[in-house]
Structure 1
């Protein structure tokens, strides 16, 4: 869940535990423009989904109010794979099917909002508040439809930055928390970020 971002556990002074994500520096310790822009888009998109109370996503607890934002905090959540297969035991088929149903429902809701996640994999599927939840919108993009002239549509998924994905979809094959966005005061990447004038400190992994 950290291809383009650096993550670590944090704890708020009120005891709330979270995971703070910030842009991952490139060579030379600097954050390049593409990474910063992708991160900014991820923060804004996740803030909107959190504000709209979209079920099945890992919400934003807090975010840097600066523009561009340098960090945001999510709640701690378990990896879905560990919940379905504790201790490495084989997962129950019924539980796997139910998890897939929940994830598919979340992706369908995102599609209604013309959002394609583009990075669904085990590391980005978590278990939060008793149900599967999708995390890491770092390369999510917006979907657009255009007719292909053959009774179907082209679905183009793109963001402002590569990679972009285009695929052909036949017309008949397409079917149709808590929110705390504190004003905060930005800190440096790592511990010491603030929420509503209070601090997020290093947590325990």
Structure 2
């Protein structure tokens, strides 16, 4: 992952590709940033430090502008959400954890025609299609049917923030790997060795984060 720094402030970040003068940072760095505050973080000593005064001035100016804005023009935030949602299918986000950090932008699953790589939310899980299908032809491929797991896999988080409820493993495509997190029976666990089993079935493969 890279960040772009201009005049001491973080002005952009990239999880895929990068910038000509970008600065390499660990993937966990993204968790410290709130997207709407990009441009107001100072980059000092390898850390992102929010310039509270500058950000407060921006909010005041923004509020003043919104007060005089036409009701027919969407807000900046609404426009950004629509734009990002439109771009999301073309973005090459390869790892599950990054996909989960932006999972609020994915649509809720509904019957339809799906291609490999498409992502949808359903209750507490975010799922990725790994086998193309059309519900018009195969109506049984839905979340409450066993056939679902032959076409969709749950994304696994690698941080406490992106952890999702444990989903029984169906095969090599959705097994849990070392470093991934999952909630199980009300407790958070970290996977400490690749496994197809739950913390209850194979406790040595998991470490409780109590």
TM-score (norm 2): 0.27
Larger radius of gyration: 2
Larger strand percent: 1
Highest relative contact order (Cα 8 Å, sep 6+), 1 or 2?
Answer: 1
